[in-house]
Amino acid sequence: MTPATLPTIAITLGEPAGIGVDIVLMLARENFPLRLVVIGSIDLLRQRATLLGIKVELIAVTLQDIIPPHCPNQLFVINIPLNAEVTPGVLNPANAEYVLNTLRAAAIVAVHGLFDAIVTAPVHKGIINAAGVSFSGHTEFFAALTNTPQVVMMLATGKLSVALVTTHVPLAQVSALITPARLESVIRVLYTDLQRKFALNAPRILVCGLNPHAGENGHLGREEMEVIIPVLEKCRAEGMVLIGPVAADTAFTDASLTGIDAVLAMYHDQGLIPLKQRGFGEAVNITLGLPIIRTSVDHGTALELAGTGQAKPNSLRAALHSAATMVLRQQQKETRHAMDTM
């Protein structure tokens, strides 16, 4: 990779009272072949760096600037001003708009192709809602900003990738949300992006049932018979390899996962408990279906660790690596396509 082809990646700092700022500063000390631009408050970075004893040169840039390859202990920053002073660990609804502004800026630069990908540090969904803005997550926020009708949340660690049919919704609403239309479009996005972004020609997807024992032939719930099985049959008829619906309680055993590229879980905790059990702190959250590349950490704001130096940057490092890999894969595909059409 020559410096000219190094991906440019934007990182948003997330909730200012959380560990997002800390782990970005920690990662800045490392060496990696990328161009990095932080989107967030330069004052906040300066204050937290002092608190953590991290020596870092912070350089304010604009969208017109060319970003050089990353050098350890240096960060280029698109400054988004805070609305209020920040005390690590203490949430303040006054800064919710600041957080949303960082996400809006990141989406704009990615959609317009100024940067190749977005990596997000964690936000606090509760405080944004407390500030009066209905917000269920980056996934849904970026879907709305980019007018994307169907996005899919997928977390990956090592060989396990888990995608979700429903994301941040109350458990009581899950069954009603598992409609044939939604399930089919989630499967199509997952299948297409496993091919496009992960270079899997014929992905093998293991689909969980919703009910205990995948409904036990309708005796323990009817969603499998009425929704899941018909949709899987329709998609299989097009050649997709879809295994299931399988009982979710044994879907994540090593035997069950052999030869599987991704598991499709029906709801958040069905998929993310086993995923985080395997690799919490090392996994990556990827939004499939977006017109931009977006990855994130697998953890939250960990308010109690902010400013202590105890937060680990491993998941953020993995999220950067994963975004860069997807960018390079896309660049190679575009180059091949250009050569084919010459």
Check residue 88 and report its DSSP letter.
T
- Does position 123 bind ligand NAI by CB under 6 A? yes
Query: CB–CB of 311/105 below 8 Å?
Result: no
- Does position 41 bind ligand LD2JLWAY by CB under 6 A? no
Whole-angstrom distance, CA of residue 124 vs CA of residue 299:
11
> What is each CA distance from 22 to 96, 99, 104, 174, 324, in whole angstroms?
19, 16, 22, 35, 21
Whole-angstrom distance, CA of residue 22 vs CA of residue 24:
6
- Does position 139 bind ligand LD2JLWAY by CB under 6 A? yes
- Does position 138 bind ligand LD2JLWAY by CB under 6 A? yes
Whole-angstrom distance, CA of residue 149 vs CA of residue 142:
11
Identified binder of ligand NAI from the candidate list 124, 197, 294, 317, rule CB under 6 A: 124
Q: Which does 139 bind (CB under 5 to 8 A by kind): ligand NAI, ligand LD2JLWAY, none?
A: ligand LD2JLWAY
276 marked ligand binding residue? yes
- Does position 296 bind ligand NAI by CB under 6 A? yes
Q: What count of Cα atoms within 13 Å lies in the side-chain half-sphere of residue 251?
A: 33
- Does position 294 bind ligand NAI by CB under 6 A? no
Restricting to residues 15-34, which ones interact with ligand NAI according to CB under 6 A? Answer: 19, 23
Identified binder of ligand NAI from the candidate list 46, 182, 278, 312, rule CB under 6 A: 312
Restricting to residues 281-300, which ones interact with ligand LD2JLWAY according to CB under 6 A? Answer: 285, 296
The tokens describing 317, both together, are 């490092």
- Does position 209 bind ligand NAI by CB under 6 A? no
Check residue 139 and report its DSSP letter.
H
Identified binder of ligand NAI from the candidate list 21, 45, 67, 305, rule CB under 6 A: 305
- Does position 309 bind ligand NAI by CB under 6 A? no
Q: Where are the alpha helices (DSSP H) in the chain?
A: 20-28, 42-52, 96-111, 125-130, 138-145, 174-177, 180-196, 223, 229-236, 254-257, 268-279, 314-340
124 marked ligand binding residue? no
Q: Where are the alpha helices (DSSP H) in 174-239?
A: 174-177, 180-196, 223, 229-236
139 marked ligand binding residue? yes
138 marked ligand binding residue? yes
Q: Which residues bind ligand LD2JLWAY (CB under 6 A)?
A: 137-139, 272, 285, 296
Binding-site entries for substrate: 138-139, 276, 285, 294
Q: Which residues bind ligand NAI (CB under 6 A)?
A: 19, 23, 122-126, 138, 281, 285, 296-297, 299-302, 304-305, 311-312
Binding-site entries: 138-139, 168, 213, 268, 276, 285, 294
